[in-house]
Amino acid sequence: FRLIQVYETVWKKPKRIRSTLSKQGIGGPTPAFLYGNVKEIQNMESESVLMVNKSEDEDEDGKTIQAISHHHWVRSTFPYLQRWTFDYGPMYMFSTGSQQHLYLSQPELIKELKLHKSLELGKPSYLSKALEPMLGNGIIKANGHQWAHQRRLIAPEFFLHKVKGMIGLMEECTMAMVKTWEIRLIESQGGVADLMIDQDLRSLSADIISRACFGSSYSQGKNIFAKLRVMQEAMSKPSLLFGLPNLKFLPTKSNREIWRLKREVEELILKVVKDRQEESQKDTGIYGKDLLEMILESAATDTELQKSTHDTHRFIVDNCKNIYFAGYETTALAASWTLMLLALYPEWQQRVRAEIVHNWGDKNLHQTSASIDLDKLRQLKTLTMVIQESLRLYAPSLVVAREAFADIKLGNLVVPKGIHIWNSIPALHRDPENWGSDANEFKPDRFAGGISEACKYPQAYVPFGYGSRLCVGQTFALIELKIILSILVSNFSFSLSPKYRHSPVYKMLLMPQHGMRLLVKKV
Ligand code: HEM
């Protein structure tokens, strides 16, 4: 029976998938027996690491600004996707052994994917298994009815009317960071500080998401974030993304570390939950009904979950981990890349600042507390354009992935059951056919008429993904970004530090490999 199963997985299923695609004229690199295209992927990855190191040496010779302003970093992240696009066009298949993949980048097919709302299209299940220690079976990786249940529960917590109520706390947390920067500036020489801003933005974002969703202060969540981050580092090899063979079940040093962190994170989350349950028994009325409470309520009323404490705990822990993972580093990175761009383009930094002064008056924001509201944020059109352009060139998520759980149709294309569909966000966001010959340049003006007028095929602008799996935190993230950036830009000016080394790398998200060092001074 086992032999039949192996034969099915290794031979019959891949053969069926590949022949359905090749009959429709879809090509791709020839897979080797058992290993598919793993060898090519690994070779191209090592070559690109060498290339990145070499270009960094060149940067140190004073070419940094030129290197950044061309924003040509995409090649170093998934070099094989680019190479095969060059060889086989905008749609091709490739293989990582038993897993078969379909890469596609035509805007008309992205539109079809967006419109396909059935549960037959979901997140790759092998990926869910590989990322289990990090995400469990929470909303990000779950599929089918289990996902739909979680989505129904979580999504309304991030609707505009809920997020509106969180503006005050976002402002408060940002102001606390402003105060610490002011102290560092006073202590620094000449009132200019060389700051690793990404670290502070990460703490800020963690603080915001923790208070908004869990009502708990950052001090309680601090340990959880630190541990989740180490876990993310340990698990963020690109090889994992495409299901390359890995030894995740063996007690290697790295796996033992991941398992330990997983245990510790779970214990910490359950401790926060316990504290919260005690608090609500005391009925202090400090917190409204926040996300954690919704998750607890759902777990308490779900008849399936009630059958075991283990399942209830899993449900709570997994969804808390998902919100932590999805909700803080993404926004912190988006803010970091945007500030890097504003440092690189001082004329845009000046325009953003002038717009704030024009609309809100020239008083420094920290003199007025709880002053920001939705209407004020809506006035910041230039900042909105800058954020949209930053999310185009430096989208924190690099890929959107789906698995077909049944044979489905995308327009005329028959997509076979079991295939994994991949879109590269940087490739879509930098396609000159869609954005024009200046696709690699930072030009926020292109968004002056909104996304629909910024390019030929707006459906291919997907920093938050698409369709029924679209990011639930999109509204939350955009409002948070506007608050953080408007407060920072109206209080400080930013320029690139001579120590900044431009090297965006993929570690589950797009990160500045050597940190985001900027020179900061008071305006
Ligand atoms: C700039 C910030 C952010 C970016 C760029 C971003 C991007 C994304 C992307 C690309 C996806 C996958 C969508 C797909 O597969 O089609 C996603 C999913 C998700 N995001 Fe975000 N996100 C951000 C902020 C947030 C925040 C602040 C939260 C929550 C507080 C959040 C919660 C989620 C969740 C729960 C999912 C899974 C949705 C599902 O599968 O149903 N994200 N996000």
Give the phi and the psi of residue 368 in degrees, each rounded to 5. -115, 125
For residue 87, name the pLDDT band (cuts at 50, 70, 90): very high
Does ligand 1 lie within 6 Å of residue 221's CB atom?
no
Residue tagged 């953080």 (tokens): 484
CA distance 204 to 187: 21
Counting ligand 1 atoms within 8 A of each CB, the residue from 140, 330, 387 with the most, and so the one to mutate, is: 330
Mean pLDDT score across all residues of the chain:
86
Give the pLDDT of residue 61: 47
Does position 46 have pLDDT exceeding 80, yes or no?
yes
For residue 368, name the pLDDT band (cuts at 50, 70, 90): very low
Give the pLDDT of residue 285: 43
Does position 50 have pLDDT exceeding 90, yes or no?
no
Does position 33 have pLDDT exceeding 80, yes or no?
yes
Give the pLDDT of residue 376: 94
Does position 306 have pLDDT exceeding 70, yes or no?
no
Amino acid at the residue 401: A
Closest CA to ligand 1's atom 2? 331
Which pTM value belongs to this model? Answer: 0.91
Does position 241 have pLDDT exceeding 80, yes or no?
no
Among the listed ranges 112-121, 201-210, 419-428, 461-470, which one has the minimum average pLDDT value? 201-210
Does position 430 have pLDDT exceeding 80, yes or no?
yes
Q: Is 102 helix (H, G, I), strand (E, B) or coil?
A: strand
Largest CA distance in the chain: 75
Q: What are the residues facing 192 on neighbouring strands?
A: 521
For residue 183, name the pLDDT band (cuts at 50, 70, 90): very high
How far, in Å, from the CA of 472 to the mean position of ligand 1? Answer: 6
Does ligand 1 lie within 6 Å of residue 488's CB atom?
no
Give the pLDDT of residue 48: 76
Closest CA to ligand 1's atom 37? 140
In angstroms, how far is the first alpha carbon of the chain from the final one? 72
Does ligand 1 lie within 6 Å of residue 470's CB atom?
yes
Taking CA atoms, 176 is separated from 105, 171, 208, 375, 411, in Å, by: 43, 9, 11, 23, 51
Phi-psi region of 467 (alpha: psi -120 to 50; beta: other; left: phi over 0): left
Q: Is 409 helix (H, G, I), strand (E, B) or coil?
A: strand
Does position 414 have pLDDT exceeding 60, yes or no?
yes
Segment 14-23 shows an average pLDDT of: 96
Cα angle: 477, vertex 483, 485; to 5 degrees? 95
Which of 44-58, 141-155, 226-240, 338-352 is predicted most confidently?
Answer: 338-352
Kindly provide the ipTM of the predicted complex, given to two decimals. 0.99
Q: Is 195 helix (H, G, I), strand (E, B) or coil?
A: strand
Segment 367-384 shows an average pLDDT of: 85
More confident residue, 326 or 10: 326
Give the pLDDT of residue 54: 60
Segment 139-148 shows an average pLDDT of: 92
Element (H, E) at 219: helix 218-235
CA distance 78 to 40: 12
What single DSSP character describes residue 79? H
Residue tagged 């396909």 (tokens): 116
Does ligand 1 lie within 6 Å of residue 477's CB atom?
yes
How far, in Å, from the CA of 470 to the mean position of ligand 1? Answer: 7
Give the pLDDT of residue 83: 92
Could you tell me whether strands 420-424 and 192-196 are parallel, antiparallel, or unpaired per DSSP bridges? unpaired
Give the pLDDT of residue 394: 96
Does ligand 1 lie within 6 Å of residue 119's CB atom?
no
Give the pLDDT of residue 403: 97
Closest CA to ligand 1's atom 41? 469
Closest CA to ligand 1's atom 9? 464
Segment 410-430 shows an average pLDDT of: 96
Cα angle: 182, vertex 331, 211; to 5 degrees? 75
Segment 201-219 shows an average pLDDT of: 78
Give the pLDDT of residue 286: 42
* Contacts for 180 with CB less than 8 Å, ≥ 6 apart: 200
Give the pLDDT of residue 505: 85
Among the listed ranges 30-39, 127-136, 357-366, 434-443, which one has the minimum average pLDDT value? 357-366
How far, in Å, from the CA of 199 to the mean position of ligand 1? Answer: 21
Does ligand 1 lie within 6 Å of residue 209's CB atom?
yes
Does position 354 have pLDDT exceeding 70, yes or no?
yes
Handedness of CA 50, 52, 53, 54 (dihedral sign): positive
Does position 110 have pLDDT exceeding 80, yes or no?
yes
For residue 219, name the pLDDT band (cuts at 50, 70, 90): low
Pick from 70, 338, 68, 383: nearest CA to 197: 338
More confident residue, 97 or 347: 347
Among the listed ranges 260-274, 329-343, 451-465, 486-500, which one has the minimum average pLDDT value? 260-274
More confident residue, 461 or 253: 461
How far, in Å, from the CA of 321 to the mean position of ligand 1? Answer: 13
Give the pLDDT of residue 317: 85
Does position 476 have pLDDT exceeding 80, yes or no?
yes
Handedness of CA 518, 519, 521, 523 (dihedral sign): negative
Sheet of strand 99-104: strand arrangement: 91-96, 99-104, 420-424, 399-404, 121-122
Among the listed ranges 214-223, 454-463, 493-502, which one has the minimum average pLDDT value? 214-223
Cβ neighbour number for residue 453 with a 10 Å cutoff: 10
Among the listed ranges 73-87, 128-142, 200-214, 404-418, which one has the minimum average pLDDT value? 73-87
Does position 271 have pLDDT exceeding 80, yes or no?
yes
Segment 446-458 shows an average pLDDT of: 97
Give the pLDDT of residue 362: 74
